[in-house]
């Protein structure tokens, strides 16, 4: 069946190129993108058109780093640095997800709120609980959120109430992977929480599992100076943090590494050579005072940087806020260094919030033809009508000024979800 969305279509084609299609038709065949046209071709004349008038039709967002069980404490305890914040807030909250009924209730809210905010693709950490992780995957899939979810592995340096033995962690990971086979939109991703919370044996087990089953991996890298010092102490044979993951085969093109705030030229080169995807989490880097990531530099080096809300080190689930925070923090870095080239552009922010994640998840960029539609319709028509304003200016203004109340529709996998 042919359908079409009509409006001002903006595509993130690369970190530098914004594709602009004013007042155009995004044509779908059975929910899959069949092309973008300024006039509906005769052969498509029967398409049922949903007209969004002057609104902006964007690719929906890919939040490539967040912690599902921490959503309920978003904005809490933001006066502590990372390691203290984990002890005081994040770990006690994650422990509650041993209760499946509780997990169901909370994860249903999270899945709903993701769609409400135009996020249809994720790479998400669950807790270490297998059953709650499966519930999270179920609730996301039901709501239309696609991507990856990982059962967290942690067998040391965690409070006793939130720690597995190595055997448990291995056994539960295998049980979880077996049970994941029933999902179609949400897939498993191996998730060692971060190097300090996994023993050598557990990391080695995960590396073998990754190789055997060709699984993706997500973890944290060089977020905070205290954390980096802890890694150096725990893994004295590894000169740099990334080498812990690399040693166990957990550092390649199928890997997401959150933060990378303090990754120096050597660590960044290692990421680039292995095509590891850094995930920039500006809000959480600010909240937990981790530092300001050299994201413009990473983009210049052609790193495949994605964006993450990092709820709840980050203070918002909104990828519009996350883009705005990324632009702002890059300017803070530029101000501190008296170097304008540290600032990122709206094109870069939009691409990192959409296309970079799409690529990691195996999709084409922009509204790729033949792929199921993932889109968000953002209505900026209530903002002042400035003469001669360009579409890139409108997009930047919308990112700064709009929120979920201005999202008129969300499409995922070709279906309208909002």
Residues in contact with Zn ion by the rule CB under 5 A: 258
- Shortest distance, position 104 Cβ to Zn ion, whole Å: 23
Residue 62 vs 258, nearer CB to Zn ion: 258
- Shortest distance, position 279 Cβ to Zn ion, whole Å: 9
- Shortest distance, position 225 Cβ to Zn ion, whole Å: 16
Question: Whole-angstrom Cα distance, residue 171 to residue 174?
Answer: 5
Beta partners for residue 3, in sequence order: 28, 48
- Shortest distance, position 70 Cβ to Zn ion, whole Å: 8
Q: Closest Cα partner for 177 from 141, 206, 218?
A: 206
The Cβ of residue 172 has, within 10 Å, a number of other Cβ atoms equal to 18
Question: Whole-angstrom Cα distance, residue 386 to residue 389?
Answer: 6
Question: By the 8 A CB rule, do 371 and 363 touch?
Answer: yes
Question: Whole-angstrom Cα distance, residue 235 to residue 241?
Answer: 9
Residue 187 vs 259, nearer CB to Zn ion: 259
Question: By the 8 A CB rule, do 206 and 245 touch?
Answer: no
Residue 231 vs 258, nearer CB to Zn ion: 258
Q: Pairing mode, if any, of strands 306-307 and 277-280?
A: parallel
Residue 258 vs 346, nearer CB to Zn ion: 258
- Shortest distance, position 278 Cβ to Zn ion, whole Å: 13
Q: Closest Cα partner for 166 from 211, 212, 198, 194?
A: 198
Question: What angle do helix axes 166-179 and 130-143 make, rounded to 10 degrees?
Answer: 30
Cα Rg of the chain, angstroms: 21
- Shortest distance, position 417 Cβ to Zn ion, whole Å: 26
Residue 3 vs 218, nearer CB to Zn ion: 218
- Shortest distance, position 11 Cβ to Zn ion, whole Å: 29
* Sequence-ordered list of residues with C-beta below 8 angstroms from that of 289, at least 6 positions apart, any chain: 81
- Shortest distance, position 176 Cβ to Zn ion, whole Å: 19
- Shortest distance, position 67 Cβ to Zn ion, whole Å: 6
Which pair of tokens denotes residue 95? Answer: 């422990």
Question: Whole-angstrom Cα distance, residue 236 to residue 244?
Answer: 10
Residue 10 vs 258, nearer CB to Zn ion: 258
Question: Whole-angstrom Cα distance, residue 20 to residue 366?
Answer: 11
Question: Whole-angstrom Cα distance, residue 301 to residue 190?
Answer: 27
Residue 152 vs 258, nearer CB to Zn ion: 258
Residue 258 vs 319, nearer CB to Zn ion: 258
Residue 279 vs 375, nearer CB to Zn ion: 279
Question: By the 8 A CB rule, do 24 and 44 touch?
Answer: no
């Amino acid at each position: 069946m042919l359908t079409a969305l009509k409006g001002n279509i903006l595509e993130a084609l690369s970190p530098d190129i914004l594709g602009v299609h004013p007042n155009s038709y995004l044509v779908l065949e059975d929910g899959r993108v069949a092309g973008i046209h300024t006039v509906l071709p005769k052969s498509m004349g029967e398409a049922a058109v949903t007209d969004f008038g002057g609104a902006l039709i964007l690719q929906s967002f890919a939040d490539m780093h967040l912690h599902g069980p921490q959503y309920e404490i978003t904005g809490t305890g933001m006066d502590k640095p990372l390691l203290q914040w984990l002890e005081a807030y994040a770990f006690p909250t994650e422990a509650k997800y041993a209760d499946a009924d509780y997990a169901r209730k909370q994860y249903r809210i999270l899945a709903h709120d993701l769609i409400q905010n135009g996020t249809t693709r994720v790479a998400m950490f669950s807790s270490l609980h297998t059953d709650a992780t499966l519930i999270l995957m179920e609730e996301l899939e039901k709501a239309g959120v696609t991507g990856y979810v990982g059962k967290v592995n942690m067998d040391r340096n965690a409070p006793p109430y939130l720690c597995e033995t190595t055997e448990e962690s291995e056994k539960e990971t295998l049980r979880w992977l077996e049970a994941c086979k029933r999902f179609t939109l949400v897939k498993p991703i191996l998730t060692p929480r971060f190097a300090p919370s996994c023993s050598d044996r557990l990391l080695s087990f995960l590396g073998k599992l990754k190789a055997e089953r060709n699984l993706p991996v997500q973890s944290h890298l060089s977020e905070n100076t205290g954390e980096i010092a802890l890694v150096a102490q725990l893994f004295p044979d590894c000169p740099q943090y990334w080498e812990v993951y690399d040693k166990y085969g957990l550092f390649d093109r199928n890997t997401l590494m959150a933060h990378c705030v303090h990754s120096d030229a050597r660590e960044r080169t290692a990421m680039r050579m292995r095509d590891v995807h850094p995930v920039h989490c500006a809000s959480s880097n600010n909240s937990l005072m981790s530092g300001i990531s050299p994201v413009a530099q990473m983009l210049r080096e052609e790193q495949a940087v994605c964006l993450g809300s990092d709820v709840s080190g980050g203070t918002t689930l909104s990828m519009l806020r996350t883009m705005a925070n990324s632009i702002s923090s890059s300017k803070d870095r530029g101000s501190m260094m008296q170097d304008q080239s540290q600032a990122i552009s709206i094109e870069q922010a939009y691409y990192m919030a959409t296309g970079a994640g799409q690529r990691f998840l195996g999709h084409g960029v922009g509204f790729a033809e033949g792929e199921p539609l993932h889109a968000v319709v953002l209505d900026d028509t209530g903002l002042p009508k400035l003469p001669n304003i360009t579409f890139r200016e409108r997009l930047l203004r919308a990112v700064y000024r709009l929120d979920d109340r201005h999202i008129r529709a969300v499409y995922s996998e070709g279906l309208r979800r909002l």
